Structure 1
Amino acid sequence: MTTEPRAAPPVAPAPPRWAVKPVRQLTAGELAEALGYLERHRPDDDVLGRALAGELARRTAAAEFARRAADRVPPPCAPDAGGRPRA
């Protein structure tokens, strides 16, 4: 029988912050990071990959739509085409 102390089990690294959040609560940066991680470590996980990619695509499209809509709408105080102030 040995009286030497046993080595401590290896400490697993803490999971990334995005790993414990629901997909809808991830930021765009976290979604991209999660997709990169998934591609490197679990490329066969199609369900999670599709969920992450779909959410990132939805947000990207929504942001682009909002940007284009903001560019199209003139400020309320700008004159109309006839030079008259808008009501």
Structure 2
Amino acid sequence: MDKKYIILIASILIFLISLPAISQVIDEKERYANTPDELIPYVRQEPYRRYFIVPLEYTGPGREKPEPTDLDAVKIGLIAPEYRLVPPGVSME
């Protein structure tokens, strides 16, 4: 009798595992670099809450200024050493 239950449970588990995965449609905003559905983690789970769906409003200085309309590009500067000041491996001694 116990052997029949074990075989029944094993066959049910094998059947459930072999079912095709239910794929959900993923919004393009949530997809990263054309990742296929099979590689997205937790694709079958729906989150309890989604935070930061609406971008936060900037409340810092200059918020009352209008956005520039004639802007094509923004230059970003970097202040860093031009060459290494310490030879490689010296800091590991």
TM-score, normalised to structure 2's length?
A: 0.22
TM-score, normalised to structure 1's length?
A: 0.23
Larger helix percent: 1
Larger Cα-atom Rg: 2
